[in-house]
Each structure stands twice: as structure tokens, then as C-alpha cells.
Amino acid sequence: MVKLQGEDIYLGSLERADCKKLYEDFEYDFTNPTDHFHIGYSAEKSDEWFDEIQKLQGKENIRLGIFLNNGDVIGDIALQNIDYNSRTGSIGMGIVKLDNRGKGYGKQAVRLMLEYGFGFLGLERISANTLEINAAARKCLEASGFIAEGRERKAVYFCAKRYDRLLYGLLADEYNEER
């Protein structure tokens, strides 16, 4: 089992019960929205999510839970769309409770996953995207060394408005220089 240790959190394998807990604890932040939210999903949907994680794990995704050092699961992070031939992938992350956001846990999780992706998997490029209105995600990505590379104008229809999707990238050379 993988355990990537940070200062306040660690990344580890998600079990079925962890996925259920993440579904149960999810709180949507309407003041700092992300591009999708799913209201009304039941615990059975978390079982489907766990099965999907297991199906894709190690093939095209590496998805891990974000755990406080006391063992409480607070979110998940993934290297997704991994192309082992091109040595690329993308990163996505979420922290489920509003009280756990803005405390640096996401930044620690991103740094741990970047180290895993670049250092262990040998990826040479990791990309990310977020909505223009998600200031917390932009701040986390930029603090982690990601470079803004582009903008897909009015790409997402969300909450009765159109928003730009911001595109970010980080190369292994840039990551190693910053470290």
C-alpha cells in the first residue's frame, strides 16, 4: 500500500469505506465553485466510484486519498489520463469539507503527487485545469509551480453562466529546478 507522507497530511490508498465517507462529508462551496457538483448521490454511487477507481488504478489513473495524520480522510487527489508513452498526465484534487479548505492541505497533497508523478513514474509533463472563478485552485496550482498556458474561453456552462477554463502545465525540468 502506498503512503506518501507530508507535514500535516498523507496520501494513501482509498478503501470502499473512505469513498463512502467522502460522499457523506462533501460540502459544496457556492462562493468558490468548482465546475461540477452532484446533488443527491447516494452511498451506492460511492460504491460505483470505488469500483471505477480500482478498475483504472495504475493503468491510466493513480488516485489516492488525502488523510490527516490522525487517519481521517478529507479528500482525494489523482494523476489522471496518464500516457506512459508520452510520459504525461493531468492532476485533479478535491477536499470535501469546507473547514478543511484553505489550510494548505491541498497544496501539500499536490506537492506529494507531483513528486510521485515526476520522481517515481518518470512523467515529464503534468497538466491541470480549473474554472476562472476557482481562486483557491488557481492559487494552489501557481504556488505549486504550475504555469498558466492558456484559456478556453466560455468553455463551461455552470450555474446559469459561461466561464473560461484555465489551462496549466508543469514540466519535470521546471519542477526539479524549483525543488
Residue 159 has pLDDT above 80, yes or no: no
Q: What's the per-residue H, E or C state across 89-100?
A: EEEEEEECCHHH
* Lowest pLDDT segment from 19-23, 107-111, 118-122: 19-23
Query: Which residue range(s) make up the domain with 89?
Result: 3-178
d(CA 50, CA 14): 8
- If we measure between CA atoms, which residue out of 109, 117, 98 comes closest to residue 141? 109
pLDDT at position 38 is 59
Residue 11 has pLDDT above 90, yes or no: yes
Packing angle, helices 43-56 and 16-25, rounded to 10: 130
pLDDT at position 157 is 87
pLDDT at position 37 is 60
How large is the average pLDDT for residues 120-143?
Answer: 94
d(CA 13, CA 65): 6
pLDDT at position 34 is 67
| Tens digits of residue pLDDT in 46-98 | 889 899 999 999 999 999 999 999 999 999 999 999 999 999 999 999 999 99
Question: Could you tell me which residue, 152 or 133, shows the higher pLDDT?
Answer: 152
134-139 CB contacts, 8 Å cutoff, 24+ apart: 134/32, 134/33, 134/34, 134/35, 135/32, 136/32, 136/101, 136/102, 136/106, 137/34, 138/166
| Tens digits of residue pLDDT in 14-48 | 999 999 999 888 887 777 666 566 566 677 888 89
Q: State the DSSP H helix or E strand holding residue 136, giving kind and residue range, or none if neither.
A: helix 135-143
pLDDT at position 26 is 86
Which domain CATH number covers 160?
A: 3.40.630.30
pTM given for the model: 0.93
Residue with grid cell 494523476, as numbered in its chain: 79
Which triple of cell numbers denotes residue 12? 494513501
Domain count, the chain: 1
How large is the average pLDDT for residues 100-124?
Answer: 96
Residue 4 has pLDDT above 90, yes or no: yes
